Chain A
Amino acid sequence: MRGMSELEAGKCNLPAESELELGLGLSLGGGAWKERGRILTAKDFPSVGSKRSAESSSHQGASPPRSSQVVGWPPIGSHRMNSLVNNQAMKVAKAEEEDGEKNVVKNDELKDVSMKVNGKVQGLGFVKVNMDGVGIGRKVDMRAQSSYENLAQTLEEMFFGMTGTTSREKVKPLRLLDGSSDFVLTYEDKEGDWMLVGDVPWRMFINSVKRLRIMGTSEASGLAPRHQEQKDRQRNKPV
């Protein structure tokens, strides 16, 4: 029995035995959806019926979601989870270090600097993502992202349908990186400053990102890369 994965495609009530694939695929975002893999239908889960299932934060074709992709699952406290993830990142880094010369990447020097500081890997793993206008934050696994484009795509999928529309309306892709949408992607770095995503080399970015925020462009107008944003020292309001 496979794990359940169903897209929260604008929260439609899915009828039990319908062929959903074609209908939904065409009306949402057009071609981009097809590239990312098809929407799973009730047919994929023969003995389950029309149960509502957990969300999945990344859509990788027909494979069932890994337990770590379901929100809040496995039920491990976030403090413990963060610790685990940091440790796993360290193992990965050490293994990569030992593999050494095999995978020489262009930014190799950068990789050494960013992956190891005093022998410790900094901050890879899950970071929180909040989007203006959406009450509930998500988390994204930075280790699973390979580039800015990849990250933007993941975030789009995550927050798809959260931009103030109902299931019956067409949903616009967020287009976070090209400056043309209503939203802009920002991040908080290790020093607590908020910066625009996309300015520094990818490896440097993932090394220093602490959290992400999808901001409305109007709010982000005062924000510039590498400038001191006024720090939100009123930590009374945790995000």
Chain B
Amino acid sequence: MNYFPDEVIEHVFDFVVSHKDRNSISLVCKSWHKIERFSRKEVFIGNCYAINPERLIGRFPCLKSLTLKGKPHFADFNLVPHEWGGFVLPWIEALARSRVGLEELRLKRMVVTDESLELLSRSFANFKSLVLVSCEGFTTDGLASIATNCRHLRELDLQENEIDDHRGQWLNCFPDSCTTLISLNFACLKGETNVAALERLVARSPNLKSLKLNRAVPLDALARLMSCAPQLVDLGVGSYENEPDPESFAKLMTAIEKCISLRSLSGFLEVAPLCLPAFYPICQNLISLNLSYAAEIQGNHLIKLIQLCKRLQRLWILDSIGDKGLVVVADTCKELQELRVFPSDVHGEEDNIAAVTEVGLVAISAGCPKLHSILYFCKQMTNAALIAVAKNCPNFIRFRLCILEPHKPDHITSQSLDEGFGAIVQACKGLRRLSVSGLLTDQVFLYIGMYAEQLEMLSIAFAGDTDKGMLYVLNGCKKMRKLEIRDSPFGNAALLADVGRYETMRSLWMSSCEVTLGGCKRLAQNSPRLNVEIINENENNRMEQNEEDEGEKVDKLYLYRTVVGTRKDAPPYVRIL
């Protein structure tokens, strides 16, 4: 019943970009489903085990860009063993076999091997963009394959990966004919860098807009690099600890002044504070600043820098900035949309230094009207502060608060923080992501269930009293997609109350909770479209199947919806029920 020929509809669909919308279009009718299928260029798979490569390619044969996510979020914090899964090789093999014209691959928390990278580099003539975030399993040899074989490479973006650095010459592997680079990020590489090769590469890449260096690129090299790439928009500085001599410093200043397009700055892995002033001239143009790895920079130096950044929209910083520094941010950065404050001292030994507290948080909420995303690590919090924040900033989409000490109450009233978080969810009607911490009872979950209607992702740690807590959330938050819980007293009653619910979600993680093996088995029994995985630390327990204790608590439970059943690549200590 189409009034237009297919090509016209397809053209209209080209304007529909978001995955959610395209998924919706494909449900309208068979004809639209078909047109959408063949015209879909970008596919996003939030859980690589929800589907398999063959079915993906079957449905979207013309895909050009694939995004895959592997391990669950808590893998970032060492809660998931390395061999758990998330291997990209089968995907690349299938795509190569089917001659898909892959141009872009974006992976998060997956295991990538040199073999995969080699295969990737040889199989897709038009391959342009590789983005790896929090992946592991490969070395610089794999990068060398990509550099050597991908003739049209535009983007190589490596963020926070575990890469074995073979001190090789991967940068040398980019052929002289390679002039198409737009983005190069190797900040996470730990080894030495062939600076000469890098300089030659940058010199022949006129389209290079984003360059993020690793530790090993020294100051004088930085100056030369910036001189040959004044068109840079995004720069990640490596490290330079020693005070530069006046001549080097002058060269750096000249180079920086020419970079009038620079909008985003990051890195500063180890930096002598005296080098910072070289960047003052371009601060007024910056919209993004990431100093969260710059542990060497003291609060007052940070403040001087930030005072010049009036257009800042995104700021990632360490808590060494202090409440005082956050007040400066609040006064200066009126365009601020996203703030992340990371702890600079995880051992909690420097108790006398008050890093950031509720004072800083309230100041930011009061001073930055456009703030919608926050991640805040602190040692103390109060309900009053959270209530004030909620009142000042009802526009939060992401609110993640991490009080470093588990179970810590309001430090003034010694009460739980239920009311504070309750105020946040009540005021922030658009809240999509929430992480809670501190002393919390079931009450906070009642509030979350009642008010957080748009909530899609919730992270819970050391919170709640009874199963009711989890039930409030499952019953109330209809849009929940990812629920991750650790060290909280939720058990089988909560887990099993509404098993059908889990098919409307991407995944559920529960570790160190009260769920038992028996409960998980019951869950798995009636859910063919769920994979229920149990990860048990003491793997020897599993050998004695006849002694299996259904009352035994499960260390880690990870369940997710899938259309392709049990996966075959799980290691022995992962049991799929």
Chain A interface residues toward B at CB < 8 A:
1-4, 11, 13, 49, 51-54, 64, 66-68, 70-81, 83-85, 87-88, 90, 119-120, 133-137, 139, 141, 161-162, 164-166, 235-239
- Specify the chain A residue showing the minimal Cβ separation from B344: A84
B449 within 8 A of A: no
Chain B interface residues toward A at CB < 8 A:
74, 76-79, 81-83, 111, 113-115, 134, 136-139, 160-162, 164, 188, 241-242, 269-270, 292-293, 295-296, 342-349, 377, 402, 404-409, 414, 435, 439, 459, 461-462, 486-487, 489, 512-514, 535-541, 551-553, 571-573
| Separation of A64 and B406 alpha carbons in the complex (Å) | 10
- With A139-B78, A235-B137 known as contacts, the answer to whether A52 contacts B513 (CB < 8 A) is yes
- Specify the chain B residue showing the minimal Cβ separation from A70: B406
Shortest CB-to-CB span from B211 to chain A, Å, is 20
Secondary structure dominating the interface of A: loop
| Separation of A236 and B114 alpha carbons in the complex (Å) | 7
Given contact pairs A73-B77, A80-B342, A83-B295, enumerate 11 new A-B contacts (beta carbons under 8 Å). Answer: A13-B553, A54-B486, A66-B347, A71-B79, A79-B134, A79-B161, A83-B269, A84-B295, A136-B81, A137-B82, A238-B82
Shortest CB-to-CB span from A94 to chain B, Å, is 10
- Specify the chain A residue showing the minimal Cβ separation from B544: A166
| Separation of A1 and B465 alpha carbons in the complex (Å) | 14
Interface pairs (7), CB distance under 8 Å: A4-B487, A76-B342, A78-B162, A87-B296, A119-B241, A135-B535, A162-B537
Shortest CB-to-CB span from A190 to chain B, Å, is 11
| Separation of A1 and B462 alpha carbons in the complex (Å) | 12
Chain A residues near B541 (CB-CB < 8 A): 166
Shortest CB-to-CB span from A14 to chain B, Å, is 11
| Contacting pair A54 B512 (CB below 8 A) | yes
A72 CB contact (under 8 Å) in B414, B486, B539 = B486
| Contacting pair A72 B77 (CB below 8 A) | yes
- Specify the chain A residue showing the minimal Cβ separation from B141: A235
| Separation of A164 and B539 alpha carbons in the complex (Å) | 8
| Contacting pair B346 A84 (CB below 8 A) | yes
| Contacting pair A51 B489 (CB below 8 A) | yes
| Separation of A73 and B138 alpha carbons in the complex (Å) | 26
Chain A residues near B82 (CB-CB < 8 A): 137, 238-239
| Contacting pair B346 A74 (CB below 8 A) | yes
Chain A residues near B296 (CB-CB < 8 A): 87
Chain B residues near A70 (CB-CB < 8 A): 406
Shortest CB-to-CB span from A63 to chain B, Å, is 11
| Contacting pair A76 B343 (CB below 8 A) | yes
- Specify the chain A residue showing the minimal Cβ separation from B489: A51
| Contacting pair B76 A236 (CB below 8 A) | no
| Contacting pair A72 B74 (CB below 8 A) | yes
Chain A residues near B540 (CB-CB < 8 A): 133, 164-165
| Separation of A214 and B571 alpha carbons in the complex (Å) | 20
| Contacting pair B77 A75 (CB below 8 A) | yes
| Contacting pair B83 A237 (CB below 8 A) | yes
Chain B residues near A239 (CB-CB < 8 A): 82
Shortest CB-to-CB span from B56 to chain A, Å, is 24
B571 CB contact (under 8 Å) in A11, A13, A135, A139 = A135
| Contacting pair B407 A135 (CB below 8 A) | no
| Separation of A235 and B407 alpha carbons in the complex (Å) | 40
| Contacting pair A1 B409 (CB below 8 A) | yes
- With A67-B405, A74-B377, A135-B571 known as contacts, the answer to whether A52 contacts B514 (CB < 8 A) is yes
| Contacting pair B538 A161 (CB below 8 A) | yes
**Most-contacted residue by chain A among B82, B114, B349 (CB, 10 A):** B82
- With A87-B296, A236-B113 known as contacts, the answer to whether A135 contacts B345 (CB < 8 A) is no
Shortest CB-to-CB span from A85 to chain B, Å, is 7
Shortest CB-to-CB span from B384 to chain A, Å, is 18
| Contacting pair B347 A68 (CB below 8 A) | yes
- With A83-B269, A134-B537 known as contacts, the answer to whether A1 contacts B134 (CB < 8 A) is no
Chain B residues near A68 (CB-CB < 8 A): 346-348
| Contacting pair A235 B114 (CB below 8 A) | yes
Chain A residues near B408 (CB-CB < 8 A): 1
| Separation of A18 and B514 alpha carbons in the complex (Å) | 19
- Specify the chain A residue showing the minimal Cβ separation from B160: A79
- Specify the chain A residue showing the minimal Cβ separation from B137: A238
- With A75-B76, A80-B342, A162-B537 known as contacts, the answer to whether A52 contacts B409 (CB < 8 A) is no
| Separation of A113 and B146 alpha carbons in the complex (Å) | 39
| Contacting pair A53 B512 (CB below 8 A) | yes
- With A1-B407, A52-B514, A166-B541 known as contacts, the answer to whether A72 contacts B348 (CB < 8 A) is no
Chain A residues near B161 (CB-CB < 8 A): 79
A79 CB contact (under 8 Å) in B188, B242, B295, B349 = B188
- Specify the chain B residue showing the minimal Cβ separation from A3: B406
Shortest CB-to-CB span from A19 to chain B, Å, is 22
Chain B residues near A137 (CB-CB < 8 A): 78, 81-82
- With A3-B405, A53-B512, A133-B540 known as contacts, the answer to whether A87 contacts B295 (CB < 8 A) is yes
Chain B residues near A136 (CB-CB < 8 A): 81, 535, 537, 573
